[in-house]
């Protein structure tokens, strides 16, 4: 992070809102990382680019509203109000509210079926599905149950559930898997992971269709877009999208 005194250092994926006092307050909150036991005033100043006098004033207001707490040694940490809001957000969040609009975008863009699979034990379930706009299509419906070791969605679910060896090491590096006729000789697909709070795997987002249309050039063309959509869903679900966005740029 570059140092710029008096200039708010926003999170990498954020832009200033134009309301300076709020931008500065949120810069303080977002300065904390998951492994921080507490931050000194000097560390907060380093991470945010704010003067210590400004930090003291804003920290006092954040402490008043319980978004910050001050430890006995003078360091700061996030307060209980941050946790309460996070719990409210998580409780009100439904996967479909996040995923279905994004899946419809992919369907309009490429015309092929878009699916989202979750893992249940040693099987996977098609939780959401947007059908292909073409008359010839892969026949999978919401609620269908399939195995994990055949097909792009299953491979991704296994890879990010800790399966060892290949192809799972490669899947974890690329954050994607291309399947050619594994489950059905005439069907191909590509899937990527979606994460939530604490980087917990939520499921596998994929595009699937007949091999006559969904071939390797098609998958290579859509891979970056699919990863970008998975990153957007991950952010909305409270996860960290950095690895997905990095993979999309490769």
pLDDT, tens digit (0-9, with 9 covering 90-100), for 181-228: 888 888 999 999 999 988 999 999 999 999 989 999 999 999 999 999
Which pair of tokens denotes residue 92?
């009100």
Residue 90's pLDDT is 58
As a CATH number, domain 20-89 is 1.10.10.10
User: 89's torsion region: left (phi>0), alpha (psi -120 to 50) or beta?
Assistant: alpha
As a whole number of angstroms, the distance between CA 201 and CA 12 comes to 23
Residue 89 pLDDT: 63
Q: Residue 14: what pLDDT?
A: 57
Are 181 and 175 within 8 A, CB to CB?
A: no
Please check whether residue 57 is in contact with residue 90, taking contact to mean a CB–CB distance below 8 angstroms.
no
Which residue do the tokens 């957007």 mark? 232
Q: Which CATH number fits domain 93-248: 3.90.1580.10, 3.40.50.300, 3.40.109.10, 3.30.450.40?
A: 3.30.450.40
Helix 95-110 to helix 216-236 angle, to the nearest 10 degrees?
150
The pairing of beta strand 113-120 with beta strand 76-78:
unpaired
- Phi, psi dihedrals of residue 239, rounded to the nearest 5°: -95, 175
Under a CB-based contact definition with an 8 Å cutoff, are residues 248 and 221 in contact? no
Q: How many CB atoms lie within 10 A of CB 24?
A: 21
- Residues of the chain whose pLDDT is less than 70? 1-15, 89-93, 136-139
Domain(s) labelled CATH 1.10.10.10 in the chain stretch across 20-89
């Amino acid at each position: 992070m570059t140092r710029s005194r008096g200039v708010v250092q926003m999170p990498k994926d954020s832009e200033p809102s134009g309301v300076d006092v709020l931008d500065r307050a949120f810069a303080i909150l977002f300065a904390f990382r998951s492994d921080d036991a507490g931050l000194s005033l000097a560390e907060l100043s380093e991470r945010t680019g704010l003067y210590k006098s400004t930090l003291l004033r804003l920290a006092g207001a954040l402490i008043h509203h319980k978004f910050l707490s001050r430890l006995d040694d003078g360091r700061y940490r996030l307060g209980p109000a941050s946790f309460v809001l996070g719990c409210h957000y998580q409780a009100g969040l439904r996967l479909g509210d996040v995923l279905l609009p994004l899946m419809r975008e992919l369907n309009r863009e490429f015309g092929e079926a878009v699916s989202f699979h979750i893992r249940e034990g040693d099987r996977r379930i098609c939780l959401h599905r947007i059908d292909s706009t073409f008359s010839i299509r892969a026949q999978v419906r919401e609620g269908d149950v399939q195995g994990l070791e055949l097909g792009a969605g299953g491979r991704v679910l296994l890879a990010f559930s800790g399966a060892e060896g290949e192809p799972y090491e490669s899947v974890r590096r690329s954050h994607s898997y291309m399947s050619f006729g594994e489950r059905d000789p005439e069907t191909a697909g590509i899937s990527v992971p979606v994460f939530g709070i604490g980087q917990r795997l939520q499921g596998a987002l994929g595009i699937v269709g007949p091999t006559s249309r969904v071939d390797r050039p098609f998958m290579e063309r859509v891979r970056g877009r699919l990863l970008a959509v998975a990153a957007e869903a991950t952010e909305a679900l409270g996860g960290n999208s950095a690895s997905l966005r990095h993979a999309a740029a490769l």
